[in-house]
Amino acid sequence: MTAGIVAGAILGAGLFLLVVALIPRRLSLSRQLAAFDSRPARAAPQTRRSGEPGESEFSRKLGAGLAAFCTEQGWEFPGLRNDLALAEKSFENFLATSVLLGIFGFLIGPILLLLLSVIGVHISFVLPIWLGLILALVFSVFPYVEVKQKADQRRKDFRHAVGAFLDLVGMNLAGGRGVPEALMAASEIGGGWSMWRIRDALANARITGQTPWQALGALGEEIRVDELRDLAAALSLVAEDGAKVRESLTARAVSLRRRELADLEGQAGERSQSMLVAQMFLVAGFLVFLVFPVVGVLLGA
């Protein structure tokens, strides 16, 4: 009786959500304007990432539909979009992957119930449903965890590049260049993704008429790197005095290197502790392996 009620409730909820999704929605003017304003800014990333490897036509259409639904509802997810941009993944692909993995996780429960019934094991219908719901939630979170890890690693690499960038800017300032010229010259020396983003931001600032530190601050806001925002704020305060700028940049570079060294020492300590725990488990297992035959003989006697 309980299983039938639960199954009926789930089926009814699914049908209700399906009917609600199929009914055309009358959007407010503010949401329509927000959707219209967001299209030009996202047109380029979508065309560039439309052919991601391993993405089928069905998942592409599903992701596009889900992204359009989120835009219509006014759900922007700025933090998630920043992480996806750093991880070089599209918002549509992320949504499609999360939904498909959630459906796959939910189907594990009924499949398990079917397999157990085939081999003659009878269990309640409620347990596989709850197992499927839990697995659906866990599986749908996997893409976010992956994107978050990649974005955090990118930010860590960017902070390392900012420290080298500050040293290069200080050298150029010592050579007699002005602050804007020193910033551009330092960005052209380095390579990699981080320096490319800094160089692109400075080049766009020159075209649009912004100051270089405003461009660096906007880049720091976009990728959420506090060190770059602090650098932009410091440059905006002492941009007219080359000696003060050089001293400030040198101090910031030293501070970044010390912080990076402290982080590396902390990671090394954590890995040492994990290795110590692993060694303790190995020793405990070896002791159990040695003592078990003796205990078996004693108990048998």
The residue behind tokens 């078990």 is 292
Whole-number pLDDT of residue 26: 58
Joined together, the tokens standing for residue 27 give 């959007």
Query: Distance between CA 120 and CA 114 in Å, rounded?
Result: 10
Q: What mean pLDDT is reported for the chain? A: 76
Q: Please, are residues 158 and 194 in contact by the beta-carbon 8 Å criterion?
A: yes
Domain that holds residue 249: 155-259
- Which pTM does this prediction carry? 0.63
Whether 117 maps to a domain, the answer reads no
Query: Distance between CA 282 and CA 9 in Å, rounded?
Result: 50
Count how many domains the chain has.
1
Whether 237 maps to a domain, the answer reads yes
Q: Please, are residues 101 and 135 in contact by the beta-carbon 8 Å criterion?
A: no
Whole-number pLDDT of residue 297: 77
Query: Distance between CA 170 and CA 173 in Å, rounded?
Result: 5
Whether 236 maps to a domain, the answer reads yes
Does the structure show a pLDDT above 70 at 4?
A: no
Query: Distance between CA 190 and CA 200 in Å, rounded?
Result: 13
Joined together, the tokens standing for residue 47 give 């065309």
Q: What's the mean pLDDT in 156-164?
A: 82
Amino acid at 174: A
Does the structure show a pLDDT above 80 at 236?
A: no
Whether 230 maps to a domain, the answer reads yes
Question: CB atoms < 10 A from the CB of 184, how many?
Answer: 19
Residues 6+ apart with CB under 8 A from 107: 132
Whether 16 maps to a domain, the answer reads no
pLDDT tens-digit series, residues 211-227: 888 888 888 888 888 87
Q: What's the mean pLDDT in 255-259?
A: 75
Q: What's the mean pLDDT in 14-31?
A: 58
Q: Please, are residues 214 and 205 in contact by the beta-carbon 8 Å criterion?
A: yes
Q: Is the dihedral of CA 56, 57, 62, 65 positive or negative?
A: positive
Give how far Cα 233 sits from Cα of 199, 207, 229, 236, Å.
18, 21, 6, 5
Whether 80 maps to a domain, the answer reads no
Whole-number pLDDT of residue 166: 80
pLDDT tens-digit series, residues 76-91: 888 888 888 888 888 8
Give how far Cα 122 sits from Cα of 88, 107, 114, 117, 226, Å.
47, 18, 10, 6, 57
Q: Please, are residues 186 and 172 in contact by the beta-carbon 8 Å criterion?
A: yes
pLDDT tens-digit series, residues 42-97: 433 343 444 455 566 777 888 888 888 788 777 788 888 888 888 888 888 888 88
Whole-number pLDDT of residue 295: 77
Whether 5 maps to a domain, the answer reads no
Whether 18 maps to a domain, the answer reads no
Closest CA to 108 of 136, 138, 143: 136
Query: Distance between CA 2 and CA 129 in Å, rounded?
Result: 13
Whole-number pLDDT of residue 9: 66
